[in-house]
Amino acid sequence: AAAAPAAQPLGGPVVPGVCLLSREAIFANAAVGKAASARLNDLTRAAQTEVDAQRTPLETEARALEGQPDNAANKQKREALATRWQALQQKAAHTSREIEATRAKALERIANEAQPMIAQVYTAKKCGLLFDRGAALGGNFANDLTADVVRALDGRIQTITFERERLPIQQAVQPPAAPAQR
């Protein structure tokens, strides 16, 4: 069987004034993006360690209750354990929301730092229209501003510092009480 021919790269002429940019590649390749990513990984690991520290004793208690007789005392222990499991699951979900809020805030800060660099490179390259590089299916990528923006951003900022965002704890919503019967 004959091998399928390799796909020809889509090229074409450079379209003057039409430029491309990948914000994702800026976040992934700029020094500040790499530093923020490393910090987010540290915060995520620390949050997971907090949850794991509470999960391990619950797992031990659950194993101890396995195979125990189904008497009133054990039933009460199982119900208390289930309540603590649910509380831990809620804490884990809350922690996850905090990490996601931290990620969003860090990316927003990097985007704000990058915006003047994007404008500067856009003007220098005489762009009239800027597209997200991810939206392009192919073509000539000579007017891709991403690498120039990364270099400019690296010249401006190398790292940012931040801590985990703390969100208010959402209480479980209680269903409204049924109206009194008359």
pLDDT above 80 for 105: yes
5-9, 56-60, 61-65, 159-163: segment of lowest average pLDDT? 5-9
| CA–CA distance, 89 with 97 (Å, rounded to integer) | 12
| CA–CA distance, 91 with 133 (Å, rounded to integer) | 38
CB within 8 Å of 168: residues ≥ 6 apart: none
Average pLDDT over residues 30-46: 98
Chain Cα centroid distance, residue 94: 14
Task: Map out the domains of the chain as residue ranges.
Answer: 18-156
Q: Give the pTM.
A: 0.80
pLDDT band at 9 (very low <50, low <70, confident <90, very high): low
Average predicted confidence (pLDDT) for the chain: 91
- Name the nearest CA neighbour of 30 among 84, 111, 100, 140: 111
47-51, 151-155, 173-177: segment of lowest average pLDDT? 173-177
Backbone angles phi, psi at 98, to 5 degrees: -65, -45
| CA–CA distance, 103 with 83 (Å, rounded to integer) | 30
7-16, 47-56, 163-172: segment of lowest average pLDDT? 7-16
Place of tokens 């430029």: 19
pLDDT above 60 for 173: no
pLDDT above 90 for 1: no
State the DSSP code for 30: S
pLDDT above 70 for 20: yes
pLDDT band at 169 (very low <50, low <70, confident <90, very high): confident
CATH class as words, domain 18-156: alpha beta
Q: Go through 24-50 and write b for each residue having 16 or more CB atoms within 10 A of its CB, e for each that does not.
A: ebbbebbebbebbeebbeebbeebeee
- Name the nearest CA neighbour of 121 among 35, 30, 36: 30
pLDDT band at 172 (very low <50, low <70, confident <90, very high): low
The pLDDT value given to residue 181: 56
- 3-class secondary structure, 72: helix
